[in-house]
Amino acid sequence: MRFALLGPLEVLHDGRRVDPGSAKQRLLLAALLRRPSEPVPTAVLTAALWDDDPPASAAANLRTYVRGLRSALGDGAPWDGIPRTPGGYLLRVEPGGRDVDLFEEGTARGHRALTLGDPARASAELSQALSLWRGTFLEGLPLSDALARWAGRLEERRCHAEEDFGEALIAEDRCPEAVLRMRELVEHHPLRQGAWGHLMVGLFRGGDVAGALEAYRRARDVLVRETGLEPGPELRRLHEDMLRQRPATARAAFAPPPSPRQLPVFTGDFVGRDASIAALDSCLDSRTGHPATAVIATVSGMAGVGKTTLVLRWAHRVADPSPTGSSM
C-alpha cells in the first residue's frame, strides 16, 4: 500500500489506485498518516475530523468512518491495516510507503551533496524529490489545525529544497533553469530572500545584469512593504557586488549557512505515552496564529520513568529546518 499526500490524497494498492471514500474518511486517513505505524488517540482523530466542534455522536461516527475506510482500502473486504489500539487506532505503513518520506529523504540527500560540493548529484536528487509534489499538500481537503500545521511545515521544506535546487543548477551553469524556478518560487513566496538571491545570481551569470538589479529592487520593495525591514546583509552584499561588477559575484550563489543539528540521537525504542505525546503536540497547537510566541512545557516524573526518551521521541518527530537547529 502506497500513500501520496503531496497533492490530492491518493492510495495505491499493488500499483492500482484505491478510492478512500468520503471527505471524512480521507481526513481520517490523513490524520493516521501523520503518525504512520503509531497509535493515534481518538481525541486526535476527532480533532482532525471536527476541529473544536465535534458532534455528540463523534465517537460512534468515528467508528463508522474507520469501518468505511477499512472497507474502501480493502476493496470491499475489511483491510487489516488499521487495527484498534488502546485509546485509538493505528495505520500500518511500510517503509517508504508515504511520498512525504521519499521527499524528505531525497531532499536530505540533495542538501548533503550540495554541501559536499557535488551539484550534479544534488540537482538529480532534488529534482526527483520535488517531482513528487502534484499540487498543494492534501489538496481539496478541509484541513484541521493540526493537519494545516503539518502542511505548513512541509511547504517550508519544499521551499528550502527549491532554493537548494536553484543553487545546484547555478553551480552547474544551468542558469536559465534556475531563473525560471526561482521566479516561480518568489511569485508564491515573495519574502524568501534566499530565492531572490539565487534569482539575482542566475540572471547575473546569464548576462542579464539589469535584470539582476531589477530583481533586487523588487525584492527590497516587497520586503519593506510587507515587513517594514530592509533586505538582510547577504542580499545587500550581493547587490553591492553586482553594482561594482565584482568577479566573486559570478561564482557565488546566495546560500544561508547549514543549520546545526542540536538534538541528541534517539535510539528508536519507544512505545506508548500517547497522552503525553498529544499533550506536547498541544504546545504547538497553542502557537497557531502566533508563530513568534515561545511556549514552554515541563515534563516531570520520578527518575527512570522515561522523561528524556519521551522528549527526544517527540522532538525528533516534530523537528523542522530552523536557523538555530532547534526542533521548533
Nearest to 30 by CA among 13, 52, 7: 7
Instruction: Please tell me the distance from the alpha carbon of residue 99 to that of residue 95, in angstroms, as a whole number.
Output: 11
3-state secondary structure of 12: strand
Mean pLDDT by 10 residues, the chain (328 residues): 96 91 95 94 94 90 95 84 94 94 96 95 97 96 92 96 96 95 97 95 92 96 96 93 71 48 61 72 58 68 76 70 45
Q: What is the pLDDT of residue 276?
A: 77
Instruction: Please tell me the distance from the alpha carbon of residue 148 to that of residue 162, in angstroms, as a whole number.
Output: 21
155-167 residue pLDDT tens: 999 999 999 999 9
Q: What is the pLDDT of residue 14?
A: 85
Q: What is the pLDDT of residue 265?
A: 60
Topology at the third CATH level for domain 175-256: 1.25.40
88-89 and 84-85 as β-strands: parallel, antiparallel, unpaired? antiparallel
* Residue range(s) of every CATH 1.25.40.10 domain in the chain: 175-256
Q: What are the phi and psi torsion angles at 16 (to 5°)?
A: -105, 130
Q: What is the pLDDT of residue 275?
A: 72
Strands (E), 39-167: 40-41, 84-85, 88-89
Topology at the third CATH level for domain 1-172: Arc Repressor Mutant, subunit A (1.10.10)
Q: What is the pLDDT of residue 166?
A: 96
Q: What are the phi and psi torsion angles at 20 (to 5°)?
A: -70, -15
* pTM, entire model: 0.76
Residue whose entry in the numeric block shows the C-alpha cell 526518551: 309
Instruction: Please tell me the distance from the alpha carbon of residue 242 to that of residue 8, in angstroms, as a whole number.
Output: 42
Q: What is the pLDDT of residue 154?
A: 95
Nearest to 73 by CA among 92, 86, 53, 100: 92
* Residue range(s) of every CATH 1.10.10.10 domain in the chain: 1-172
Instruction: Please tell me the distance from the alpha carbon of residue 195 to that of residue 41, in angstroms, as a whole number.
Output: 40
Instruction: Please tell me the distance from the alpha carbon of residue 288 to that of residue 68, in angstroms, as a whole number.
Output: 31
